[in-house]
A and B are shown apart, each in its own frame.
Chain A
Amino acid sequence: MAPREIVVRVNGEEYRGSAEPRVTLVDFLRDELGLTGTHVGCEHGVCGACTILMDGRTVRSCLMLAVQAEGHELRTVEGLAPADGPLHPIQEAFSEKHGLQCGFCTPGFLMTVEELLRDDPDPSEETIRSRLSGNICRCTGYQNIVEAVRYAAELTREAAP
């Protein structure tokens, strides 16, 4: 099928690209827009590595077509912290608590946590574990990720006026 022009806003910037209607959103982000921070771990919606925000809510970009994102506002890991600025509190917390090893699952976790802390600035351990249970990490055993989320919540509350 012929490629279609697609216009999306990603991390506050307008991007134009073209893709066949069958191209997944994650392939479009990575291959067409060069935003390779979002990863592909399964392509069947289970691992959460491809998690991004669309209009502020998490979506699995491997389960969406690029054409479905037309006109929407997307946020990816590249948009969490300013390019030359300090890390976002969630990123800072993941580093401080050693919540990442190989880093492959990490972008998906960061975006999931971004949504979680907006919904619940002071989540319990149970809530954290439940909200993270759609993301698979094979390296960390989750313990330091859970700690990182708690620490990120602390940093975020401190930063808030």
Chain B
Amino acid sequence: MSETPWVGRSLRRREDERLLRGRGTYVGDVDLPGQLHAVFVRSPFAHAAIGGIDADAALALPGVVAVLTAADVPAGPLPPFLWDTPPEKLVSALRPHLRPCHPPLLADRPLYAGQAVAVVVAESRYVAEDAAELVVIDYDPLPPVATLERALAPDALVVHEGWDDNVAVRFVVAKGDVEGALADAAVVVRERFSTQRQAGIPMETRGAVATWDATGDGLTLWSATQNSHPLRRALSRVSGVPQERIRVIAPDVGGGFGIKGVLYPEDLLVGLLAMRLGRPVKWIEDRLEHMLSAVHAREQVHEIEVGLDAEGRIVAMRDHVLVDTGAYNPLGLVIPYNTIAHLMGPYRVPSFEATAEGVITTKTPTAPYRGAGRPEAVFAVERSLDLAARRLGIDPVELRLRNLVRPEEMAYDVGILYRDGEPLVLDGGDYPEVLRRAAELVGWDDVEIRERNGRLVGRGIGVYVEGTGIGPFEGAVVEVGDDGRVAVRTGACTQGQGHETVFAQVCADHLGVDAGAVDVVTGDTDGLEKGWGTVASRSAVVAGNAVAEAAGIVREQALHAAGELLEIAAADLTLTAGRVVPRDAPDRGVGLGEVARAAREQGSPLASTRYFEPGTVTWANGAHAAVVAVDPETGEVELLRYVVVHDCGREINPMIVDGQVHGGVAQGIGGALYEEILYDEEGQLLNGTLADYLVPTAEEVPVIELDRRETPSPLNALGLRGVGEGGAILPPAAIANAVEDALSGLGAVVRRTPLTPPYVRSLAVPDATHLRSSGEDEILRP
């Protein structure tokens, strides 16, 4: 090891230089000689049958090469991708109702507005767009099923053929005697909370470029994906080309947040088109089609009951969760299970019962977006606890402290299973201390409800835990070149999280080189057999530990090889800053490059591939506090302060960790105050531009006041817990709690987000019902 470890330093990022000079390579920058351009024709109806498609006029346009419809491409649902099938242990415990439900490549019966029904390929993007307008499609509109309420009505139209209702997934998770505990509780909060449909909005849209070399390299696909190896496997399934002859490259990717972590028909079709047409094919999604056809997220309704005793201790929790899956449910029970698994959060809850249902509607499919089911759960629970605190006359911080799992109770078995089928066991952290620190930073006891220039000021707080670093595995290759430079390859793609820097830091420590001597490549299937990808706050944990293991092995190899070279026992050597030196004669060293060459010539190069398979997830935690000013006349909410205290275990690069938290919080603020995907009754998207769908700008996001605790994870050698999603989990709850606090004199109860001016005004002026926003939905229980 070098004197000061590289892990723990806020090292400047290796990737910055090229990105700042405009020399990054995003998929849109991949430009192949002779490439064609694909444009998708998308259904204008939420639900329709297609009588016929006439492509003659489109094909007659000069420059148009092909028009393909569902009849021209392999039929049936897309192949498996990630977590389609839950682990056996979970299935046998839950016995869930779960119907597989993937979209086809091209639809002959579109189930949401924006679903691809045909693809046009032409010599230029402009011509392809012209031609797409000329494709004549005979649609026979069918009734839309645009809301959960309509999808669950007894006479609902069943969207998927062969099903008897619209429920794609249903299961119950329970422990203890909820009924009895609720009956004995001093206070029971019964509420319906909902979280609105949102979009992840990576600034780079989706896109793919493919080229096919039938005799040589096979199929190469560049894609703005978070999961290059799973994409290769799926592409192999639909193309019939063996995986060894397919290379998938996720180059620089302009943000993902989960939205690029699902399998999309377009990526596969670009590959198939390149094979069929014998020329490279490029597709870059525009923003309007992104809003329509990239996955949405978060649309949930909770009917929750939380019972507490007179001292404010939780005795029971019951929840019924409805998840709007949109037209398909590609990830099985991932979202509903994540939600359920995070309801009890960091609290001791003796009895628990939660029912989850994922319901099909004729809208864009929903899938994991930063937080992936957790912000929704945390919103329902943290809101309930604030209501309970008010009814019991206990301070919200104090009430939470009475219920938080204490450090001396760790490891704490919550008594249900996690999504990976393993027991859900909280594995460390000082939750009360994190909450107290957040309260202290925000000046909890000083922030009194008061008026400020006619505005009402309120404070809100909340806590969360997050299961991070889920399996099944991630791998890493570490190799030393003759020049002494170290190459690291991993399947954990990057969309801005700084993998080139953090994995270099990890490798540097475990091998004994400078971080600057390590070159990290992510997201290229070449040179690494298996990979999973960057989703679910897992890459640092899972890929990071794989890098550490592989680097440690290469270090041993190097010491051994250098021992032979220097004729000194390996045990008497050490490797530091890229040189192998005898412990007692530091001036007699030999450079790592020289060792690598000698080792290679001996037929045993310095190289190792390791796959890290975590036993289960490791738990991060945090507390957020918000101070808001609410104008009761206009309903406008201004975020005055935002405090975050979190614990993601050991931090490889604190600067990057802070950046992850800032970004997550900003997205959470968007979900709390501004962002909502709106559909009308016909299933038509109403706000499909960035002028209508409001993401926060620099004027809306306050300075985030941040503090940390570092409780190393006992579950992996590096002591890491994941952090990618954490920042996004709490803002809706913390801000809603603050807004309700500001309006507490008016008896307002916040039941949904976003807290837009019309909604907040309806809370402040209860008779202003005409101002209630669309989300005041009356969802019926089935």
Contact = CB atoms under 8 A, between A and B. Distances in A.
A25 interface: no
Contact of B663 (A35, A46, A104, A140): A140
A35 B24 CA distance: 11
Interface SS of chain B: loop
Interface string A130-141: 101111111111
A55 to B, nearest CB: 20
B17 A102 contact: no
A67 interface: no
A127 to B, nearest CB: 11
B254 interface: yes
Interface footprint category on B: 35 or more
Contacts of B29: 30, 36
A77 interface: yes
B665 interface: yes
Interface in B8-38: 12-13, 15-17, 19-24, 26, 28-29, 31
B640 to A, nearest CB: 15
A102 to B, nearest CB: 3
Interface SS of chain A: loop
A22 B254 contact: no
Nearest to B16: A95
A76 B697 contact: no
Given A37-B23, A138-B257, A95 B13 contact: yes
A36 B201 contact: no
A102 B666 contact: no
Contacts of A137: 203
A43 B202 contact: no
| Residue with the highest number of chain A CB atoms closer than 10 Å, among B17, B690, B695 | B690
Nearest to B668: A141
Given A132-B698, A136-B695, A103 B21 contact: no
B300 to A, nearest CB: 22
B662 interface: yes
B690 A144 contact: no
B540 to A, nearest CB: 14
A39 to B, nearest CB: 7
Contacts of A38: 22
A70 interface: no
Contacts of B20: 77, 87, 91, 94-95, 100, 103, 106, 110
| Residue with the highest number of chain B CB atoms closer than 10 Å, among A37, A98, A103 | A103
A140 B497 CA distance: 10
Nearest to B665: A141
B71 interface: no
Given A41-B287, A44-B287, A47-B690, A101 B695 contact: no
B204 A41 contact: yes
A128 B125 CA distance: 37
| Residue with the highest number of chain A CB atoms closer than 10 Å, among B201, B254, B287 | B254
B16 A100 contact: yes
Contacts of A135: 697-698
Nearest to A142: B698
Given A36-B22, A42-B287, A102 B204 contact: yes
Contact of A103 (B15, B663, B701): B15
Nearest to A147: B703
B699 interface: yes
B49 interface: no
B487 to A, nearest CB: 22
B485 to A, nearest CB: 21
Interface string A51-83: 000000000000000000000000011101100
Given A87-B20, A91-B21, A104-B255, A142 B695 contact: no
Contact of B703 (A31, A35, A103, A143): A143
B704 A141 contact: yes
B286 interface: yes
A105 interface: yes
| Residue with the highest number of chain B CB atoms closer than 10 Å, among A36, A91, A135 | A36
Interface in B237-256: 252-255
Contact of A141 (B21, B28, B663): B663
Contact of B699 (A35, A106, A133): A133
| Residue with the highest number of chain A CB atoms closer than 10 Å, among B13, B24, B498, B655 | B24
Interface string A12-51: 0000000010110001001100111111111110110100
A35 B21 CA distance: 11
B691 interface: yes
A102 B284 CA distance: 18
B352 to A, nearest CB: 34
A96 interface: yes
A87 B28 contact: no
Given A95-B16, A100-B20, A143-B701, A22 B498 contact: no
A9 interface: no
A134 B203 CA distance: 14
Given A87-B20, A138-B667, A140-B663, A39 B287 contact: no
Contacts of A104: 26, 202-204, 254-255, 496
A133 B496 contact: no
A143 B662 contact: yes
B421 to A, nearest CB: 33
Contacts of B704: 141, 143
B83 interface: no
Given A91-B20, A139-B496, A140-B662, A102 B202 contact: yes
B468 interface: no
A19 B201 CA distance: 31
Contacts of A103: 15-16, 19-20, 24, 252, 254, 496
29 contacts: A23-B126, A30-B28, A36-B26, A41-B203, A43-B286, A43-B287, A44-B691, A46-B689, A49-B203, A81-B21, A91-B21, A95-B17, A98-B655, A100-B20, A100-B496, A102-B204, A102-B254, A103-B16, A103-B20, A106-B19, A133-B698, A136-B203, A138-B201, A138-B202, A141-B659, A141-B704, A142-B698, A143-B701, A144-B658
Given A44-B691, A101-B497, 6 more contacts: A81-B21, A101-B659, A103-B24, A110-B20, A133-B698, A141-B659
Interface of A: 20, 22-23, 27, 30-31, 34-44, 46-47, 49, 76-78, 80-81, 87, 91, 94-96, 98, 100-107, 110, 128-130, 132-146
